[in-house]
A and B are shown apart, each in its own frame.
Chain A
Amino acid sequence: MTRPSEFTKQTLAVLAVLCAHPSSWQHGYAIARDTGLKSGTLYPILVRLADRGLMEACWEDEQPAGRPRRHLYRLTPEGLASATAALADVTPMVRAQARAALSPRRRLSTQD
């Protein structure tokens, strides 16, 4: 019997996205598109990750032309360690589901 992860499947999917490029800042809509999560599910997860110190958030430095400044997210070193361990530690089924959330077919279906 495997130990239940401390993260939900949706959180694992978000962590997988953030973990894939840990040094890059990502924004909410891109994460939502990659995970297939809606904003009402995604943002509470981001809030919790930030509250636990696993993720850092900031605003874009400069005002881009034609759109508002984005709120950007990146895992902290502690978050990266937790995410790495959690993704490696979850059951194969959960990992497959987290991976399925990021499959190319799903990404294509959520492309604009």
Chain B
Amino acid sequence: MEPLTQGLMAVLWRLTALMAADRREWTEAVLAEAAELPAGWRRLSWLTGGIRLTMREAARARRPWYPAAFAAVATGIAWSAWSGPPGDPAIAINRVDVLAVVVILAGSAWIFRRTRGPVAVARWTRLVRTSGYTAVLALVLVKSAVERVAGAPPNNHAAGPAVAWTGEVVFLALMASYAAVILVYTAQRSPVLPGTLAIGTSTGLILGVVAYLLGPLGFPLRFTGPWSARLYDVALGLGVLLALCAPVAAGLAAARRTGGSLPAGSRFRQGAMAGLWSGTTAALVVAVLSTATIAILPYDSGLQYWATAHIGQWIPAVGEISPVLHPRLGYVAGNSAFAAGYLAVLLIGPLAGCAFGAGGARMRHPRGPRTTMTVPRIRPSRFGA
């Protein structure tokens, strides 16, 4: 038994090298304690647990597939955005967009890993982070696809290149903020409780999908039949109500979920963070889906027919939609009012969500912090303070 134990200790010591430098103390702690255990199966079992811990931490510290997948996707998007006629200002904007977003996403991940730690252990949290990053990259992809449509002017073309580039700077600043929120919410040292993240994600997904279904191209739909028009008006009204109430409900639910385990200030913060996350998720979902639909529009005659029939004279800022749709469908996305609309959604969504979520958390009747508890009595510690 002793040679086996010695062998396991040697293996565990070697495995320590696989871990990140700041995590090695945990394996060293297991090894230090092992010396105190009675020799035999108990010490063997202790060391086996240490190996499990070490392998798990090593796997977490070195996940080559995440950076590899990110690099592959970023290369694909860059290739997609790069193609286009030289001299087209839309292509220049696309290229800057892709390069800047890739640098922002990679750089933010590097910075927040040092300040907030790596991604949390839970698979759910990893899924949220991966989905969030995927959504940001997808938004850049579909945005560049829309602007690449032949003849489509860049955003704010009519207003001149300075306005177009200002819009791009705002877009990139928003993407940096989205990356920061995604990373902070899913980090190990996140101030957000897992329940808050779950509530915000589910609320935001529902809200984003409903908003998209009610206006897939960013405009309310037009129905000619009296019943279908009335039904759509009701659905639109309910959608607006949902947009107002969902972040409030998320904030309320997040604050309620924390119960008495946190002080009132922390419950309020959890509510605000749930609202912020639901607004962020909803804005990202609706922006990606709508822009993707517009990107498909020039190539899908069925979708064009549907769009022509269901988009009507509604937004004065955009003007007549029909002539916009007819000659160059890409112009729908290139229109400055349209682009500004989605920038506004991406900007206002999280802020409004945060405000409404905080309001929802305030609605919860505050319950005083519990001060009494029953702690099981155990023997005194061997170490003094």
Interface residues of A (CB under 8 A from B): 3, 5-6, 16-17, 19-21, 23-30, 32, 34, 38-44, 46-48, 51-53, 57, 59, 67-72, 81-82, 84-89, 95, 98-99, 102, 107, 112
Contacts and interface: CB of A to CB of B under 8 A. Distances in A.
A51 B33 contact: no
Nearest to B258: A6
A24 B383 contact: yes
Interface residues of B, number: 52
B32 to A, nearest CB: 4
A17 B378 contact: yes
Interface string B254-267: 00010111110000
Given A39-B30, A70-B32, A71-B32, A84 B381 contact: no
Contacts of A6: 193-195, 261
A99 B370 CA distance: 20
B48 interface: yes
Between B37, B374, B383, the greatest number of chain A beta carbons within 10 A of the residue's beta carbon is seen for B383
B188 A40 contact: no
Interface stretch (B50-58, B167-175, B315-323): B50-58
Nearest to B25: A71
B21 interface: no
Contacts of B374: 87-88, 95
A69 B117 CA distance: 27
A68 B379 CA distance: 23
Contacts, number: 136
B382 interface: yes
B370 A88 contact: yes
Given A24-B383, A112-B38, A89 B32 contact: no
B310 interface: no
B375 interface: yes
B384 interface: yes
B159 interface: no
Nearest to B118: A51
B375 A72 contact: no
25 contacts: A6-B195, A16-B376, A20-B377, A21-B381, A26-B381, A27-B382, A28-B29, A29-B33, A32-B46, A34-B378, A39-B46, A39-B48, A40-B48, A44-B53, A52-B189, A59-B25, A68-B31, A68-B32, A70-B29, A71-B28, A85-B261, A85-B370, A102-B376, A102-B378, A107-B379
A82 B52 CA distance: 28
B45 A51 contact: no
Given A88-B260, A99-B376, A24 B385 contact: yes
Nearest to B27: A43
Contacts of B382: 27, 30
B185 to A, nearest CB: 14
